[in-house]
Amino acid sequence: MKKTSTRLADGRELIYYDLRDDTVRDAADRRPLERTVTTSQVRRDPLLGDSVAVASHRQGRTYHPPADECPLCPTQGERLSEIPDSSYDVVVFENRFPSLAGDSGRCEVVCFTSDHDASFADLTEDRARLVLEAWTDRTAELSQLSSVEQVFCFENRGAEIGVTLGHPHGQIYAYPFTTPRTALMLRSVAAHKEATGGENLFDAVLQRELADERVVLETDHWVAFVPYAAHWPYEVHLYPRRRVPDLLGLDEAARSEFPRVYLELLRRFDRIFDGRGGGREGAGEPPTPYIAAWHQAPFGALEEFDGVTRDDFALHLELFTIRRTSGKLKFLAGSESGMNVFINDVPPEHAAERLREVASS
């Protein structure tokens, strides 16, 4: 992998990640951009104890542009975009309309391919490995910032999820606090550790799932399963067999095997509802909307979680869709949005069975 860092016209950082070591990236951003001004701030809710990012400048962000005006496609002639070069493998750059900025953290965009009509599922294994290396590199770099406590790599895919740019891309949020969902996990880990005399909760959950009927696929270094208490209609958790706290902890064997496993899961998601493979638009049901979310241990202090260290956390990826059946979505209505109590219409055992049925031949 070759990494080349440059600056856009308004001062934001952009990084090319290339498969070839001899690739030259010296194209300049020719857009007449003024320096980005953000109004992001983090406010703490005194009743719930969580934090809300207020970012009014995001009201003006790019919204469903036509394909020939996509800001994530490479620059072609006089059609200028966020990526100055005429092609790329993988690119990461600071978001022009960030939810978090300055002392409130940082937001980045990850472009998986220059092919506007592709999806992550269309990538080769080499290219998927390059994305993994970019996620890992950004986690390492962002964790060194004094304003950052947790790094979150994720992909929103599909208009149903709320995606406003159709180009295949994900994001990285570097939070200045430990997120509420991670804090809940850490409290559960602490309680379990105390109650069992030191047993790790993540290890216990993984062993339970391996012994049950919800395993979707397993390899030498990875296990994918639908969790016992899945919140979403089709939800898969992907764990490395060897517990590590973050992407930096993965060994070479796990890294090498990840692209094949992850691409297979994404392709199965596209087969759930109509039997089609691949991620491109076509006849029949539109590609499955999903969120893919990496859960990593916070880099800040963990004193509030009694007896828990970073090594007690287990890196894992959660992949889920809001589509519950063909043509119907799962909405977060009163119980979910008002009380955070999820009601799942698809039994996890049935979801796991379906995801096994649609395996690649």
Asked if residue 118 lies in contact with residue 270, where contact means CB atoms within 8 angstroms, the answer is no
Q: What gap in Å lies between CA 227 and CA 205, rounded to an integer?
A: 9
Q: E-assigned strands of the chain?
A: 2-7, 13-18, 41-44, 51-54, 90-94, 106-111, 150-157, 169-175, 215-218, 222-225, 234-240, 290-295, 316-321, 323-325, 328-329
The b/e string for 258-285 (b: 16+ C-beta within 10 A; e otherwise) is bbebbbbbbbbbbbbbeebeebeeeeeb
Single-letter amino acid code for the residue at 221: H
Q: What gap in Å lies between CA 318 and CA 153, rounded to an integer?
A: 11
- Cα dihedral angle (153, 151, 173, 142), rounded to 10 degrees? -110
Exposed, middle or buried, 191 (CB in 10 Å: 0-12/13-18/19+)? middle
Q: What gap in Å lies between CA 255 and CA 240, rounded to an integer?
A: 10
Residues noted as catalytic? 169
Half-sphere exposure of 250 (CA within 13 A, CB side): 25
Asked if residue 12 lies in contact with residue 93, where contact means CB atoms within 8 angstroms, the answer is yes
Instruction: Name which of 205, 175, 201, 203 is nearest 190 in CA terms.
Output: 201
Asked if residue 317 lies in contact with residue 294, where contact means CB atoms within 8 angstroms, the answer is yes
State the Rg of the chain over Cα: 20
Q: What gap in Å lies between CA 288 and CA 216, rounded to an integer?
A: 18
Q: Helix (H, G, I), strand (E, B), or coil: what is residue 344?
A: coil
Residue with tokens 């964790």: 143
